[in-house]
Amino acid sequence: MTVELKEVVAGTDYERIFHPQSLAIIGVSAEGYGFGSGMLKSLLSIGYEGKIFPVNPKGGEIAGLKIYKSVEDIPDRIDFGVVAVAAPLVVRALEDCRRKDAAGAEVLSSGFKELGTPEGKALEEDLKKAAQKDFRIVGPNCFGIYCPRSGLTILPGAEFPRESGPIAFLAQSGGMTNDFINIGKWLGLRYSKVVSFGNGVDLRETELLQYLGDDPETKVICMYIEGIEDGDAFFSALQQVTARKPVIIYKGGLSPAGQRAVASHTASMGGSKAIWDAILHQANVVRVSSTWEMAQASLAFAMLPERSYQGITVAGGGGALGVAACDEAEENGIELPQLKSEIQEKIMAILPKPGSSAMNPVDCANPGVPPFILKDVLLHAAAEERVGLQILIQLLYVYKAFQRRENMQSLREATPYIELADMMADVQRQTGKPAILVLPNNRQNLDDLDLEEVRREAWRLFIQNNVLCFENLTEAFRAIGQVSRYYRRREEILGN
Amino acid sequence: MEFVEKAIKEGRSTLSEYESKQVLAKYSIPITKEVVVDTKEDVVKAAQQVGYPLVMKGSSAELAHKTEKGLIKVDIRNDEEALKTFDEFMANMSDIKDPAVLVQEMVKGQRELVVGMTRDPQFGPCVMFGLGGIFTEILRDVSFRKAPLEKRDALEMMREIKGQKILDAVRGMEAADIEVLANILINVGQIGIENDNIKEIDINPIILSQGKPIAVDALVVVG
C-alpha cells in the first residue's frame, strides 16, 4: 500500500523553469559584486544562450546589457526570474515576474526563516503565499539551478561543464551543490539538472524528486538531505521513483537520538538515526556517507549496465593485488570465483613467469604488462560464465620508471593509456561485460606531479571511452556492491 | 478502542499488561491465556481456567516494571501457592491504585523476541523487531520498518537483525513460525496507523513456544 501522492502540480512548466529562453535578473548593480551581478556574469561566462534582462531601479548598463529600471519595462515576456534583491523586496519582485508570464523564479536572497527572527519568518510566510500553481519558487537562500543543456548555472558556477548527462542532484545546501558539481567535473559525472533549493518554500525534495523520476533526461538521482518537509509524501515518492531509477542519498544531521525517559524499549531505540536508516533501506535508496562516495556511486550507476553483478575478476600486477582486497569484495556481496582450469591455462600461457597466477585474482606478476597482453587475459577470463564484470588494476606510475630507463622525453609518451583505453573499450564490446579500471597513484610527491597529470588525462580518456574508473579497489567494490544491491532488490520488490 | 479511551479519560498514559494484550488480541496477535483477579475468592477459579503451572503478575496501569518490584512469580503449581502469591502481591501493591493480580498461562520456550511500534515525528508509525527479554537493551539488535508493512518488509526485517538465526531450527528447537511473526509485525503497524491515540507499543517478550510466537508481556502507551 502506498500513500496517495500529491500529483506533480499540474500547471508547473518545468520546461521553462529549467530551459528558459529569457531571464530577468532582478537586483543587479552596475558597481560592486552582488549575487545578482555575480549570477549575470556567471551566465554570460558559461554561455547561456537565451535573452538576459538585468533589472535595477537605477538603470544603466552592465556587461554591455541595458539595465531595466523595472521588470515591467522589459519589452518581452520572460520564462524565469532570478531574484537577488533585499529580503523585504523579494515578494514584489516575484509578483512582477509572474505578471511578465514567468513560469517561476529562483530567489538567491537570504534574510528569511534561516535568521530565526520573527521578521525573517514573516517574510518567509509571505514568500510561500507568492508561490502559485503556475509560478514556482526555488529558494530563498539558495544558489539556484544548474542545467547544462540550457546554460543556467548556480553561483558561482561560471566554469561548470555545458555537456549534459544522466545525473541529477538536489540539495538544500548551495555549498554542497558546488562541491558535488566540482568533484563530478573531473571524475566524469555529467548532469541533467541540479537544484540548490535553500529554505525550500515551494519546490523542494519531494516534488523535485517526483519530477526527476519522470524526467527522461535523468537516469540517476542524487540528493543531499538535512531536513524534509513531509515524511509520508517523501517516502512514497522514494518508493515510486526507486522502482524506476536509482536514488542515491547522503543524509546529514543525524546526531544520536536523545534517549527519552520512556517506558517502552521501542521508543528509546527508535531515535531518528535508526528510523532514517530503516526508511531509506525500505525504499531501496542507495545510501552514501560522503559527497565523494555519492560521486563515485553515481558514476557507477551512470556507466554500468543496469543489472546486479556477483562474480567478478580482478587482474593486475605488482603490489596492488592482495588477499585483503578480495576480502573486501565479499563484504560488498561480490565474489571472485576461481576460473575454470582451461581458462587458467590459456591465461598462464600468455602471462610473464615466474610470479604470475591465473587463479582469481589474476596476478600478472609485473605491473608493466602491455595492453595487448592484458586484453587477451581479460578476453579469456570473461569466458567464465560466473563472471559478470572485470576489474583491471593499472599502476600508471610504473611508466615513470620506464620513461627514465628508456630515456623518453615525456611521461605521456611512455604511458600507453591510449592503447589501454581502446583495449578496455574493445573488451567491453566483445564480451558484453563491463571492464573497469582501478588507477591508484601511490606516488604523489611534489616532483611526481607529472604522474598525476598523466593519470588525470588518462582518466578522462577512459571515461570518454565508457570505461569506468576508480582510485582504488576498495572504492570500486563499494560502488559495484551498491549498484548490484539496488538492482537485485528492485527486482525482488517489483517481483513481489 | 475502549481500553485506550478509558485510559485516556482516566488521565493514564499506559495501559495495564492485561489491557495492552487485549488491544493486541483485537489485531489477531497471539497472546497468553490470562485472567485478572482482584479478590481472593476468584483466584482458584482463575487458576483452574488457565491451568497449572502458571505465572502470576501484579497488575495495574501504574506498574511498568514488574520484575524490579518483585511482582512476577513463575511456575506456580497448585491452589495453595496461587493463594499465597496473591496475598503477597496485594500487600506489595497496597500503595497502588486499583491493584489486581494477573493469572497467566506459563509459556515454555527459550527464545524471546521483541516487537514494538513507535511514532517518528517525520515518518509516523514505525515497527521494530529484535531480540527480546534482557537482550533487547543489552544487544540493541533490532530493525525497523515504516508502517504500513508489506509482507516482504516483515520478512526482510526479521532477517536483518544480527541474531536472525534465532528464528531457525537450532539446537533441537523448532524453526519460528515466520508467517505468524510476519502477521504480528504487519498488524502492529496497522494498530499504529488506525489508532492515533496509541503512541507506542512494546511487546517484550514474545516467546517462541515450539516455534509459535506468543505475546507474553506487553505495554501500550497512549495519549
How many other CB atoms sit within 10 Å of the CB of residue A88? 13
Collect all residues of chain A within an 8 Å Cβ-Cβ radius of residue B155. none
Rg, Å, chain B Cα set: 17
- Could B118 and A267 be called an inter-chain contact, meaning their C-beta atoms sit closer than 8 Å? yes
Is A272 touching B (CB cutoff 8 A)?
Answer: yes
Residues with pLDDT less than 50, chain A: 1-8, 257-262
Q: Which candidate from B123, B146, B200 shows the least CB-CB separation from A266?
A: B200
Is B201 touching A (CB cutoff 8 A)?
Answer: yes
Q: What is the pLDDT at residue A261?
A: 43
pLDDT one-digit tens code per residue, A437-451? 999 988 888 988 999
- The distance of Cα A7 from the centroid of its chain, to the nearest Å, equals 26
pLDDT one-digit tens code per residue, A448-462? 899 999 999 999 999
Collect all residues of chain B within an 8 Å Cβ-Cβ radius of residue A1. 148, 150
In this structure, are strands A312-316 and A286-288 parallel, antiparallel, or unpaired? unpaired
How many other CB atoms sit within 10 Å of the CB of residue A265? 23
**Who contacts B203 (Cβ-Cβ below 8 Å, separation ≥6)?**
B24, B29, B114, B115, B116, B184, B188, B215, B217, B218
- In A400-454, where do the E strands start and end? 435-438
Asked whether residue B123 carries a pLDDT value surpassing 90, the answer given is yes
> What's the grid cell of residue A313?
575478476
Q: What is the pLDDT at residue A267?
A: 64
Element (H, E) at A39: helix A35-46
Please give the residue of chain A at the shortest CA–CA distance from B200.
Answer: A267
**Distance of alpha carbon B132 from alpha carbon A61, whole angstroms:** 73
Confidence of residue B140 (pLDDT cuts 50, 70, 90): confident
Please give the residue of chain B at the shortest CA–CA distance from A492.
Answer: B152
Is B136 touching A (CB cutoff 8 A)?
Answer: yes
- Residue A295's closest CA among A392, A227, A220? A220
The region, left, alpha or beta by phi > 0 then psi within -120 to 50, assigned to residue A11 is left
Residue with cell 604522474: A451
- Could B117 and A263 be called an inter-chain contact, meaning their C-beta atoms sit closer than 8 Å? no
Q: What is the pLDDT at residue B4?
A: 93
Collect all residues of chain B within an 8 Å Cβ-Cβ radius of residue A228. 122
- Could A266 and B117 be called an inter-chain contact, meaning their C-beta atoms sit closer than 8 Å? yes
Query: In CATH terms, is domain A14-301 a member of 3.40.50.261?
Result: yes
Instruction: For chain A, positions 436-495, list CB contacts with chain B under 8 A.
Output: 492-493
Segment B39-44 shows an average pLDDT of 95
Which ipTM was obtained for this model? 0.89
Q: What is the pLDDT at residue A496?
A: 60
Instruction: Specify which residues B203 forms β-bridges with.
Output: B115, B218
Cα angle B79-B81-B82, degrees, rounded to a multiple of 5: 60
**Distance of alpha carbon A77 from alpha carbon A200, whole angstroms:** 26
pLDDT one-digit tens code per residue, B164-215? 999 999 888 999 999 999 999 999 999 999 999 999 999 999 999 999 999 9
CB distance A139 to A114 below 8 Å: no
Is B219 touching A (CB cutoff 8 A)?
Answer: yes
- Could A493 and B152 be called an inter-chain contact, meaning their C-beta atoms sit closer than 8 Å? yes
CATH 3.40.50.261 range(s) for chain A read: 14-301, 307-491
- Could B128 and A263 be called an inter-chain contact, meaning their C-beta atoms sit closer than 8 Å? no
- Could A264 and B202 be called an inter-chain contact, meaning their C-beta atoms sit closer than 8 Å? yes
- Could A269 and B142 be called an inter-chain contact, meaning their C-beta atoms sit closer than 8 Å? yes
Q: Which domains does chain B have, with CATH numbers?
A: 33-105 (3.30.1490.20), 111-222 (3.30.470.20)
- Could A232 and B123 be called an inter-chain contact, meaning their C-beta atoms sit closer than 8 Å? yes
- Could B221 and A263 be called an inter-chain contact, meaning their C-beta atoms sit closer than 8 Å? yes
**Distance of alpha carbon A303 from alpha carbon B117, whole angstroms:** 41
**Distance of alpha carbon B223 from alpha carbon B199, whole angstroms:** 6
The alpha-carbon gap from B107 to the nearest alpha carbon of chain A, in Å, equals 22
Query: In CATH terms, is domain A307-491 a member of 3.40.50.261?
Result: yes
Beginning with the edge strand found earlier in the chain, give each strand of the sheet holding A136-138 in spatial order. Answer: A51-55, A22-26, A80-83, A104-107, A136-138
**Distance of alpha carbon A157 from alpha carbon A98, whole angstroms:** 26
**Distance of alpha carbon A487 from alpha carbon A457, whole angstroms:** 32
- Residue A476's closest CA among A441, A424, A435? A435
User: Taking all residues of chain B, what is their mean pLDDT, rounded to a whole number?
Assistant: 93
Q: Which candidate from A265, A278, A493 shows the least CB-CB separation from B126?
A: A278
CB distance B104 to B54 below 8 Å: yes
Collect all residues of chain A within an 8 Å Cβ-Cβ radius of residue B126. 270, 275, 278
- Residue A381's closest CA among A405, A366, A404, A362? A362
